[in-house]
Amino acid sequence: FKNGSLTRERIRDTAAGGLWQLFNELLDSTPRGNFGNMAIYLDSKEILPALIGDYRFNKGDEKISRYSSKEVEVRALVEGQFLSRRAFAEDFGFVI
């Protein structure tokens, strides 16, 4: 996956000033499900999807340009990456 650790580091740098400890605190301060907010961050083109950019959605499934807090941004990144990996694994027949 091209959009793994380097993408996490980019969001860490912008949301947590480059500090993993603060990144973790921001993540821990939001509930699983992130209040319905979700995002996909693609710094480099993958085979699928062949897109680049940050795609953020609110709980109403509306595309938005930014989140109102760093906490929501961090949680959206982590949960989006997990969901992407899960979908990929399920496409290959893994039962999760």
pLDDT tens by residue, 4-15: 999 999 999 999
pLDDT at residue 1 greater than cutoff 80: no
Residue with tokens 């938005």: 64
Residue with tokens 């893994």: 94
Q: What is the rounded CA–CA span in Å between residue 17 and residue 53?
A: 21
- Residue 36 inside a domain? The answer is yes
Domain CATH code at residue 20: 3.30.420.40
What is the average per-residue pLDDT within 9-35?
Answer: 98
Residues 6+ apart with CB under 8 A from 15: 23, 26, 70, 73, 74
**Total structural domains in the chain?**
1
- Residue 35 inside a domain? The answer is yes
- Residue 96 inside a domain? The answer is no
pLDDT value, residue 92: 87
- Residue 65 inside a domain? The answer is yes
